[in-house]
Amino acid sequence: MIRSVSLRRQGPMFIVKSATRRFCSASLLLMAGASAAQTPTPAAPDPLIDSLITRMSVEEKIGQLTLFSDFIRAGDKTANPRVREMAAQTLREQIRAGRVTGVFQGIGAQSAHDLQQIAVEQSRLGIPLLFAADVIHGLRTVFPIPLAEAGSFDPDLAQRTARAAAVESTASGLQWTFAPMVDVARDQRWGRVSEGAGEDVYLGSLFAAARVRGFQGSSLTARDSMLATPKHYAAYGAVSAGMEYGAVDISPQTLWETHLPPFKAAFDAGALSTMSAFNEVNGVPATANPYLLDTVLRGAWHFQGFVVSDYTADEELIAHGVAADPRDATRLAFLAGVEMSMQSGLYLQHLPSLVAAGEVPMRRLDEAVRRVLGVKKALGLFTNPYAVMDARREREEVATPAIVALAREAAQRSIVLLKNDDQLLPLRKSGQRIALIGPFGADRKNLFGPWTIFGDESGAVDLAQGLKAALRDPASLTVVRGSGIEQPLSGGVAAAVAAAKQADVVLLAIGESQDMSGEAQSRTQIVIPDVQQALAEAVAATGKPMVVLLRNGRALALRGAVRDARAIVETWFLGSQTGTAIADVLFGDINPSARLAVSFPVDSGQEPFFYNHKSTGRPAIAGQPQPFKARYRSTANEALYPFGFGLGYSPLRYESIALNTSALRWNDSLTVRVRIANAGQREASEIVQLYIHDKVASVTRPVRELKGFKICRLRAGEVAEVSFALTRADLSFVDAGLQRVTEPGWFDVWVGPSSNAGLHAAFELLKD
């Protein structure tokens, strides 16, 4: 039976396209001599805000531009260096004096209510506070890390988990999240890969927009909506050599084509704040970058929200070497377009004298305040400042059965099956002895991932728990640690080997601890730590069938017994429902369906590694080592597991590809049809991916670019036809003049299961 699959293509590609067309005019503006002196588009006038601004003192205005961490409520959960820590009493006094616009990193409806009451009832103008936190992938209920969830290739899933996170957050006294992180990450040495949607701009843009929609809901004034902050603006993912906080030196084309589109997609989805990044971009720190903040963000994109600095990023302009002292740093950051200073206190200290001296015009100060107050108004804070401070909601709307079920679904759909020789998986729930070996088997400290501050550990399910609950006879599971994460465990390997010998199958749970990825966790060798590798070698030597369960926050270069295991399952950091979801997949209740949002290189030295690289003038031919070609002496150019790759329990066959025409006219659309067949005995879930390559263009083009995908479910034996439409907008790119253009000529197109496979066809785009 042939079924025509009528799923719509994931996400509105046109958002990215139309956005990028406007990017270009911005670039041209700059090239024609636009500068920081140009006035940013101010947020629209508003009677309430105008009247407040008229009554505010300079100090009160600057207070609205100053954000501090609430170290008291955050306790030891804070994720940042403890600088400018304020005692509870001092914070209250600052709020009362109108010197703080909001606080971050504290939760609790009642405690937020108490602080809000000071602002609203005891400060001179009664301007409400904004309560923020890093809610990256869940608050109390933790969803998979964003990198893992991107592997679902389902932006709707990300929207739903962001929505659930917003519900829990707004029930807990929060109205502003420093998320989503939308940095495209092409170098797996960088630890913050875990926080974003991976290496691809198209997938990243769809997830950026989806997460904003999820956090902000249908209306910002709804009691369960929270302000989103796409970050880190911009190009943080391109730090040199994957070094955290490092310099970014990239071409304007790469900036426009790869790093800016996810931000534009997030703003088009309605995000009203953004965070200026720590890094410099081509010599100018992002926090003092008039081009990014003024020319592009406000000038070209007409952004109406406000920019908050990353944590003390304004002060760091001194260490960057562009500011002489804190006063200079304040001037540079503020005039470049950073409205709000996070944690340094620099604006409070230095803006008054800068304004008094005329170095910062009062008009600019008022514009900045208007933007911040405009967003507060958009959130409904002036109408109901206590909307997110409802103790009943905090009791009833957190970790509800529906949210927990969503955490399980998201975790299931984030698991990538990388290898499954001889159909070792799925396992039976009875009739075999299983040894669960490795530091992550019974571990509860590394379920959530590097960027969770408030996760509820009591409700979390670890791997051993999840497996035991699924097994008919829980006693058939033996759990042995075998090794520490980076340190050996005395007698550990011997105990592990003994357990493996007693078992019919081994599950080896190894990888990175959650503090090995995330902020400030760059690695030079993206490998399984040596002690765990040694454990893997010893266990593999028993000859028992081994399933490797990887836990990690970035792509890894797998070696030896780990790489050669019969089955490999990528489980990332899956959050609250880790154990349940892994058991669901291992025992076949759920067919693994996620794909890699980052390529796994063969060797760490290949980084930065990404599928959509350029060809070079002497491209190497895979499998044919030749001298004088672009290749390494000892390592293949290809990935071990490329972007888009992942298996299911039922083999899929791509049978044929057909185009409705090989000549695409300028204003027409091309239909690409493929037939796929489920050649197995179980239901299959396939992510059908469409890639293109522009064969001849005025600038070099990537060897492949993702332009569409569809999630397809096929019953056993079912054949389906999947179709995609391509128009010339899908074929556009940023040219040498930073214009987004489409050029006529021949294009390759592939439809397949990953970025290095698929059926091929070609067509010509004709200009009428």
| Binding footprint of ligand BGC on the chain (CB under 6 A) | 79-80, 134, 178, 231, 310-311, 519
Alpha-carbon distance 394 to 184, whole Å?
34
Residue closer to ligand BGC, measured from CB, 81 or 491:
81
Q: Which residue is nearest to ligand BGC (CB)?
A: 178
Say if CB 266 and CB 300 are below 8 A apart.
Answer: no
Closer to ligand BGC by CB, 112 or 505: give it.
112
CA distance 678 to 648: 11
* Least Cβ distance, residue 92 to ligand BGC (angstroms): 22
- Phi–psi pair at 284, nearest 5 degrees: -120, 115
Residue closer to ligand BGC by CB (options 79, 125) is 79
Query: Closest approach of Cβ 733 to ligand BGC, in Å?
Result: 30
**Residue closest to 562 by CA, chosen among 404, 698, 454, 437:** 437
Our answer to whether residue 603 is catalytic in this structure is no
Find the shortest distance in angstroms from Cβ 339 to ligand BGC: 16
Q: Smallest distance from the beta carbon of 104 to ligand BGC, in angstroms? A: 7
Min dist CB 753 to ligand BGC, Å, is: 34
Nearest distance, CB of residue 290 and ligand BGC, angstroms? 22
Neighbours of 673 (CB within 10 A): 16
- The helix (run of H) or strand (run of E) holding residue 548 is strand 546-551
Q: Given the DSSP bridges, would you call strands 759-766 and 745-752 parallel, antiparallel or unpaired?
A: antiparallel
Query: Which one, of 17, 381, 477, 436, lies nearest residue 170 by Cα?
Result: 381
Cβ nearer to ligand BGC, comparing 73 with 559:
73
- Which C-beta is closer to ligand BGC: that of 134 or that of 199? 134
| Contact between 680 and 711 (Cβ < 8 Å) | no
Minimum distance, C-beta of residue 79 to ligand BGC, in the bound complex (Å): 5
Residues near 615 by beta carbon (within 8 Å), at least 6 away in sequence: 700, 703
Angle in degrees, CA 606, 608, 610, rounded to 5:
95
N- to C-terminal Cα separation, the chain? 40
Instruction: Point out the catalytic residue in the list 70, 200, 268, 310.
Output: 310
- Residue 441 phi/psi, 5° resolution? -65, -60
In the complex, least distance from residue 134 CB atom to ligand BGC, rounded to whole angstroms: 5
3-class state of residue 509 by DSSP: strand
Return the beta strands (E) in 598-744 as ranges. Answer: 652-659, 663-665, 669-678, 684-694, 705-714, 719-727, 733-734, 740-741
What tokens were used for 557? 């270069």
Question: For the chain, what percentages of helix, strand and coil (3-state, to nearest 5) are there?
Answer: 35, 20, 45
**Least distance CB 453 / ligand BGC (angstroms):** 8
Closest CA relative to residue 296, chosen from 21, 15, 25: 25
* Rg, the chain, Cα only: 26
Beta carbons within 8 Å of 563's beta carbon, 6+ residues apart: 640
User: 552 Cβ partners below 8 Å, 6+ apart?
Assistant: 511, 512, 516, 517, 570, 572, 573
Nearer to ligand BGC, 189 or 559 (CB): 189
Q: What gap in Å lies between CA 519 and CA 28, rounded to an integer? A: 35
Per the rule left: phi > 0, alpha: psi between -120 and 50, beta: everything else, 125 is: alpha
For ligand BGC, give the closer residue by CB, 134 or 694.
Answer: 134
Judged by beta carbon, residue 237 or residue 644, the one nearer ligand BGC is: 237
- Cβ distance to ligand BGC smaller for residue 343 or 542: 343
Kindly list the catalytic residues: 310
